[in-house]
């Protein structure tokens, strides 16, 4: 097949990574960017196109939200139709969302080889939505791009037939570019704060857990700025949660604001994989409200600490400790910020 390379994405963090990949892949031949439309709210999605000057996608599948089954099925069908009409020579998918799974499956069923960026980032909870997605995609992909050598070793054992290449983390490429666009504004002593983002279904769709976390945040040693994903905002409304002086709720922020807030924050409390790594690279202590993390190197190097949601009552003490702790950890766990170039070179040689 000699069609273009097709790059599929659909959620907030994927739009950002896809922009850097798209540019790098252009050197490997024609590349077509396909946005599934899994995320569609302006402040969750379009803001990234506007803010980062990302070119509009070449195709938009307009699937929107629904149950996991319906959303995945809608992406699968729309993506398969698109592939049939456009015959790409390979499909590139990123991460672990429903868009990642459905596009990989659509391609593989049509015998279009799949390359998986952020491959192998497994967790123990095998029924978490993202875990189902990433394991399934790793199993059908022909090329796997893990961000670290530790993960690559595991993947080579699991999938001896696949091409496994450690390339680093595309999110680091993106961050380094963003830092050039948005230079640091010094943290003001008077308005020190904790930056908070929580959006995972396992936490926010469990009312008791979410309530416990919100009570703990109100007791944090500094005020919190909580940028709430629409899923989280809806869950807080169901709880009848009223924001107070200690926890300030805002709509989701764009990527550049998120990086600026992170850099100014005294610490971050999150369940986002992206923010765990960004905090690690930026030298901001992170507390992850989950039982486990895929980004174990951030914990091993002292940048990140896990607090299980049921233990949220310990958050205020953990935050105090994080604020007072050292920030000089080794930041080389996930490459050097040139992952996209490596991916492009490997794909150009392979396809
Ligand atoms: C998805 C990914 C998650 C990723 C996150 C990044 C899956 C299974 N999960 O989670 O891994 O970390 O994106 O942000 O793919 N909604 C809106 N507006 C939107 C999009 C969603 O209001 O633009 C609401 C809808 O009520 C929807 C809910 O958010 O039902 C969940 O959206 P969905 O796309 O299913 O998953 P995320 O929770 O965003």
State pLDDT tens for residues 125-170: 999 999 999 999 999 999 999 999 999 999 999 999 999 999 999 9
**Does residue 187 surpass a pLDDT of 70?**
no
Q: Whose CA is nearest to atom 7 of ligand 1?
A: 97
Q: What is the pLDDT of residue 182?
A: 67
Distance 18 CA to ligand 1 centre (A): 17
Distance 251 CA to ligand 1 centre (A): 14
Distance 203 CA to ligand 1 centre (A): 13
Q: What number is the average pLDDT over the span 222-248?
A: 93
Q: Are 204 and 210 in contact (CB under 8 A)?
A: yes
The proportion of the chain whose per-residue pLDDT surpasses 90, expressed as a percent, equals 89
72, 229, 252, 290: residue to mutate for ligand 1 pocket, most atoms within 8 A of CB: 229
Is residue 117 classed exposed, middle or buried when 0-12, 13-18 and 19+ CB atoms within 10 A define those classes? Answer: buried
User: Cα separation of 328 and 281, whole Å?
Assistant: 10
The band of 260, judged by pLDDT with boundaries at 50, 70 and 90, is: very high
Q: What is the pLDDT of residues 71-128, one digit of tens each?
A: 999 999 999 999 999 999 999 999 999 999 999 999 999 999 999 999 999 999 999 9
Q: What is the pLDDT of residue 242?
A: 81
Q: What is the pLDDT of residue 183?
A: 53
Distance 156 CA to ligand 1 centre (A): 31
38, 95, 136, 277: residue to mutate for ligand 1 pocket, most atoms within 8 A of CB: 38
Cα distances (Å, whole numbers) of residue 168 to 135, 165, 341 = 19, 9, 10
The proportion of the chain whose per-residue pLDDT surpasses 70, expressed as a percent, equals 97
Q: Which of 45, 116, 199, 229 is flagged as catalytic? A: 199
The band of 267, judged by pLDDT with boundaries at 50, 70 and 90, is: very high
Q: What number is the average pLDDT over the span 212-235?
A: 96
Q: What is the pLDDT of residues 45-83, one digit of tens each?
A: 999 898 888 899 999 999 999 999 999 999 999 999 999
Q: Whose CA is nearest to atom 3 of ligand 1?
A: 97
Q: What number is the average pLDDT over the span 190-218?
A: 94
Q: Scanning the structure block, which residue is given the tokens 């050292």?
A: 326
Residue 68 a catalytic site member? no
Q: What is the pLDDT of residues 311-350, one digit of tens each?
A: 999 999 999 999 998 889 999 999 999 999 999 999 999 9
Ligand 1 pocket by Cβ (under 6 Å): 11-13, 38-41, 44-45, 65, 71, 96-98, 129-130, 199, 230-231
| Centroid of chain to Cα 322 | 23
Mean pLDDT of the chain: 94
Cα distances (Å, whole numbers) of residue 216 to 132, 194, 223, 247, 315 = 31, 13, 12, 10, 6
pTM of the model: 0.95
User: φ, ψ for residue 7 (rounded to 5)?
Assistant: -110, 120
User: φ, ψ for residue 59 (rounded to 5)?
Assistant: -140, 145
Q: What number is the average pLDDT over the span 262-286?
A: 97
Q: Whose CA is nearest to atom 35 of ligand 1?
A: 65
Distance 12 CA to ligand 1 centre (A): 9
User: Cα separation of 266 and 249, whole Å?
Assistant: 17
């Amino acid at each position: 097949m000699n069609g273009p390379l097709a790059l599929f994405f659909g959620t907030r963090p994927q739009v950002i990574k896809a922009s850097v990949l798209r540019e790098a892949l252009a050197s490997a031949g024609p590349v077509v960017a396909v946005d599934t439309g899994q995320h569609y709210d302006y402040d969750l999605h379009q803001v990234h196109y506007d803010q980062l000057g990302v070119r509009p996608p070449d195709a938009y599948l307009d699937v929107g939200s629904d149950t996991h089954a319906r959303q995945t099925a809608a992406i699968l069908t729309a993506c398969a139709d698109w592939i049939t009409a456009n015959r790409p020579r390979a499909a590139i998918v990123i991460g672990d969302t429903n868009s990642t799974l459905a596009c990989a499956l659509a391609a593989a069923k049509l015998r279009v080889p799949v390359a998986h960026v952020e491959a192998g980032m497994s967790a123990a909870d095998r029924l978490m939505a993202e875990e189902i997605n990433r394991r399934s995609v790793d199993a059908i992909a022909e090329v796997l791009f893990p961000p670290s050598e530790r993960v690559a070793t595991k993947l080579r054992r699991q999938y001896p037939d696949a091409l496994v290449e450690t390339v680093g983390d595309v999110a680091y490429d993106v961050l380094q570019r963003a830092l050039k666009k948005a230079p640091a504004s010094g943290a003001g002593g008077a308005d020190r704060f904790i930056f908070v983002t929580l959006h995972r279904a396992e936490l926010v769709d469990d009312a008791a857990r979410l309530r416990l976390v919100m009570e703990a945040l109100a007791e944090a040693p500094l005020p919190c700025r909580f940028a709430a994903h629409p899923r989280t905002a809806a869950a807080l409304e169901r709880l009848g949660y009223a924001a107070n002086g200690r926890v300030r709720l805002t709509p989701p922020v764009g990527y550049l604001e998120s990086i600026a807030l992170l850099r100014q924050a005294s610490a971050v409390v999150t369940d986002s994989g992206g923010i765990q790594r960004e905090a690690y690279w930026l030298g901001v202590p992170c507390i992850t409200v989950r039982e486990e993390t895929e980004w174990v190197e951030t914990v091993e190097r002292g940048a990140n600490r896990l607090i299980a949601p049921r233990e949220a009552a310990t958050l205020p003490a953990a935050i105090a400790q994080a604020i007072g702790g050292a920030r000089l950890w080794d930041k080389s766990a996930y490459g050097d910020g040139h992952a996209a170039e490596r991916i492009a070179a490997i794909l150009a040689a392979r396809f």
